[in-house]
Structure 1
Amino acid sequence: MFNFFTPLKANSILPEVKVKFANILTQRDSIMELQAELNSIVDQEVSHEAYFMKKSQVNNAISELYRDIEELEGLGILIKSFDEGLLDFPSKRFNEEVWLCWKIGEDKIKFWHGKNEGFMGRKPLSIRGTFNNDDLADLR
């Protein structure tokens, strides 16, 4: 079931989300290493068995990564960029659908942007009247 996040709700699950996202990034790095190993096997004189064993490792790692991505996105969170470490949480500002945004290294979700804006369009949540004041109490 789809839900919009308030700043309070998004920040309440952020510790869990950070762990899940860090794990996804680690898995992605591991897959890239496994793929490099597989590519080097292709260039070497190795048995078909060795190739398929490494290929199986790559496939299993990719399957696990996709399961974890689905789990995170199943919470209603959009992975905006792996490279930049960006996540977006769907929200509403008055009657407008917007994104609450978080970047790896930030301690809380403190910014939002419009649906057609990206990271460069981020605005602080603390702008008076932007969101329900009760939802911003944890940001002060």
Structure 2
Amino acid sequence: MKTFTLDEAQSLLPLLESLLKRAIESKKAAEAIEGQLQQLRHRIFLSGGLMVDILSVTRQRAEAETLVRRAKDAVAEIQAIGVQVKDLETGLLDFPCILNDEVVLLCWKMGEPRIDFWHTVDAGFRGRRPVDERFGRSKKPN
């Protein structure tokens, strides 16, 4: 497992925020298309059948699949860096970090200006505590 110092994690925020935005926007756009297609299926069901523009529906389905792939690719890029995506909807990320020979998680949520919180692996978001001076001295293990 890759670990980060606070400074390393902070330096990644612009890239990670860009990837998160891409993933979130793509996911929302795919969900909107899926909603339109679901409404069409519902109208077809209720009416016992409709004339449907198959080409248009095929294009929408392909666009939705492309958007889903784009979202998954962005999340995979984040994870490949070593950062954990905890909640895509809110843009919640965790960065494994060594503190006093223990793995803890630096915690950042999209919209926050910097990483100001951390929590133990077991505590999760509800157990967030403010980052303190110990993180300024954290060293990466050799």
**Cα distance in structure 1, aligned partners of 2:17 and 2:74:** 13
| Identity over aligned pairs, percent | 27
Q: Which residue of 2 aligns with 1:131?
A: 135
1:114 aligns with 2:113: no
Number of residue pairs matched by the alignment: 132
Q: Report the Cα distance in structure 2 between the residues aligned to 1:111 and 1:96, rounded to whole angstroms.
A: 16
Q: Which residue of 2 aligns with 1:105?
A: 111
State TM-score, norm by structure 1.
0.84
Q: Is the 8 A contact 2:6 2:136 kept in 1?
A: no
Equivalent pair of 1:5/1:91 in contact (CA under 8 Å): yes
Query: Any gaps of 5 or more consecutive residues in structure 2?
Result: 45-49
d(CA) in 1 for partners of 2:77 and 2:120? 25
Deviations, residues 23-60 of structure 1 (Å, cap 9, x unaligned)? 21111111111111111222342144433322222112
What TM-score do the two structures reach when normalised by structure 2? 0.83
5+ residue gaps, structure 1, are: 136-140
Moved over 6 A (4+): none
Greater relative contact order structure (CA < 8 Å, 6+ sep): 2
RMSD: 1.8
Query: How many angstroms apart in 1 are the aligned matches of 2:80 and 2:97?
Result: 16
- Flag the structure with larger Rg: 2
Out of 66, 76, 79, the position equivalent to 1:73 is 79
